[in-house]
Amino acid sequence: MTAAAATAAVAAAGPHGFLSPTGVEIAFLLVGLVTLGAALVTVTTRQLVHAALWLVVALGGLAVEYLLLTAEFIAWVQVLIYVGSVVVLLLFGLMLTRAPIGRSPDADSGNRWAALAVAVAAAVALVWVVVDAFRTTWIDLDGPAAGSTAVTGASLFRHWVLPFEALSVLLLAALVGAIVLSRKAKADAAPAVPGKEGAR
């Protein structure tokens, strides 16, 4: 959605400053802080299911950020895919494990510093790319929505159709791989698993 939207936004950009923030910018910042806090709790809490529930807060906060940036379609898809499906899948998986109520003393990893390093590196890379790409681009909130479904669809299937197709192929490969892996596991464990449970 970048190329077309960015040029339109640049054209509409007037004098903006960081010292006189508008209400939307303050809201954006506050929601961002909540999202970041929820994400931090997600990875630090010792209660497994609470981690999944804080993840809902973090992902929902991200959806609100998209809304504030006028990208309504992206926001709802974020809720639909991540909150509605990925977290449900996570909770489903957690319910199949022990996932006790209360703290899990062994819910910790020796890799925490390595994980922190990877997370910081990824964050730096993303922030750098975004800052480099957009710099002083401002979205004109009063004009037509820059992230409506029609605009998103047009830019996705006109300017970015090749990456879109490449991602589709990647996902298809992952799907096929998952099927192959689960078939093999099922054949090995067939005598141990009663038929009804194995079907799922």
Residues in contact with other proteins by the rule CB under 8 A: 47, 49-50, 53, 56, 72-73, 76-77, 79-80, 83-85, 87-89, 91-92, 94-96, 99, 101-102, 145, 148-149, 196, 199-200
Nearer to other proteins, 14 or 23 (CB): 23
User: 66: closest CA among 137, 10, 149, 126?
Assistant: 149
Inter-residue contact 58 to 35 (CB < 8 Å): yes
Nearer to other proteins, 46 or 112 (CB): 46
118 three-state secondary structure: helix
Nearer to other proteins, 137 or 148 (CB): 148
Nearer to other proteins, 10 or 82 (CB): 82
Nearer to other proteins, 26 or 95 (CB): 95
Which tokens sit at 77?
Answer: 């898809």
| Smallest distance, other proteins to C-beta of residue 46, A | 13
| Smallest distance, other proteins to C-beta of residue 84, A | 3
Q: How far apart are CA 45 and CA 76, in angstroms?
A: 28
| Smallest distance, other proteins to C-beta of residue 148, A | 5
**Per-state percent for the chain, helix, strand, coil, to nearest 5:** 70, 0, 30
What are the residues whose beta carbons fall under 8 Å from the beta carbon of 81, sequence distance 6 or more? Answer: none
| Smallest distance, other proteins to C-beta of residue 114, A | 30
Nearer to other proteins, 92 or 113 (CB): 92
| Smallest distance, other proteins to C-beta of residue 73, A | 4
Q: How far is CA 112 from the centre of its chain?
A: 21
Q: How far apart are CA 196 and CA 200, in angstroms?
A: 8
What are the residues whose beta carbons fall under 8 Å from the beta carbon of 4, sequence distance 6 or more? Answer: 151, 154, 155, 159
| Smallest distance, other proteins to C-beta of residue 136, A | 27
Which tokens sit at 54?
Answer: 């804080």
